[in-house]
Structure 1
Amino acid sequence: MGGFNVTALDERLKVLIEGGVVIPKAADIAKNAVKRLKDIYGFLPEDRVSVFVTHLATALTRLERKETVGAPPPELLKEVEATPFIKEALLEIDWIEHEWGTELPVEEKQFLSIHYVSLIQGAKGGEPS
């Protein structure tokens, strides 16, 4: 399959759900987000998939629980926004909002853009931001 292991991903999400860290809907969206990227890019680096899935599932769960998160460091965000992968990342974030059924807070979108850019760079053989 190249890169990440689907069984390991399922196990990780199962542990997060059973531990009450994430809700099932958030885990499903995170898994489907990875499937979308796999369909587009073929290869996805396992370490980045793991970080991305965990962040996305916990971020959506935080929203469901009405918890908030601060913004990422501005210099990191500026660097990510300057990459050629930002447009692809923003399209995927739009898909997440559609699946979730509501717009995400700006701070969550910023963090997700960082994770998406890192994942897309890894898929295309580039260095992480």
Structure 2
Amino acid sequence: MKISERIEILFSGGVIDEEVMDLTLKAVSWLEKRNISLEDERGHMFLTHFAMSLQRIKKGEQVETLDSYIMDELQNSRGYAKALDFVRFMEKQGKIQLPESEKAYILLHLCNLFGKE
């Protein structure tokens, strides 16, 4: 299944709304322009998490923050700078400020995704 199909299923199933779907498709575009493969399990997992995190933010739901030692490890990983660029881009595109807890999980998934390059 292509990632665009997965995003469409999340939308048609009522898991995410149209605004979140559009922003998630912008995320796909940003990542593909940087030659990040999304058509594998890790890519699908990240984008599913990303879309659902945006929907949680819209609903005012929160997740627990990652432990500080995990954040320290992330900040020292080789994909961290690129992951942070992605987060900043998405905040600008969506005109949102991601909560630190959601941002941490997005960074975690991205560093995992970028680590396979």
Residue 49 of structure 2 corresponds to residue 46 of structure 1? no
**CA RMSD between the two structures:** 1.7
Query: 2:102 — aligned with what?
Result: 108
The Cα of 1:108 is off from its aligned counterpart by 0.8
Query: 2:27 — aligned with what?
Result: 33
d(CA) in 2 for partners of 1:85, 1:97: 19
Unmatched segments (≥5 aa) in structure 2: none
d(CA) in 1 for partners of 2:84, 2:36: 19
Query: 1:91 — aligned with what?
Result: 85
Using structure 2 for the length normalisation, give the TM-score: 0.88
Instruction: Describe the superposition over 1:94-119 as per-residue Cα deviations: whole angstroms up to 9, x where unpaired.
Output: 01101111211011111111111111
Hey, which bits of structure 1, 4+ residues long, moved more than 4 A? none
Change (3 A) 1:24 1:112: same
Query: 46-55 or 26-35: which moved more?
Result: 26-35
Using structure 1 for the length normalisation, give the TM-score: 0.81
**Letter in structure 1 aligned against 2:30:** R
d(CA) in 2 for partners of 1:45, 1:19: 21
Change (3 A) 1:42 1:116: closer
Instruction: Describe the superposition over 1:56-95 as per-residue Cα deviations: whole angstroms up to 9, x where unpaired.
Output: 1001111111111111243332222211211111111001
d(CA) in 2 for partners of 1:102, 1:35: 19
Tell me, yes or no, if the aligned pair for 2:74 and 2:111 is still in contact at 8 Å: yes
Q: Percent identity?
A: 26
Change (3 A) 1:19 1:95: same
Count residues with an aligned counterpart. Answer: 117
**Letter in structure 2 aligned against 1:87:** A
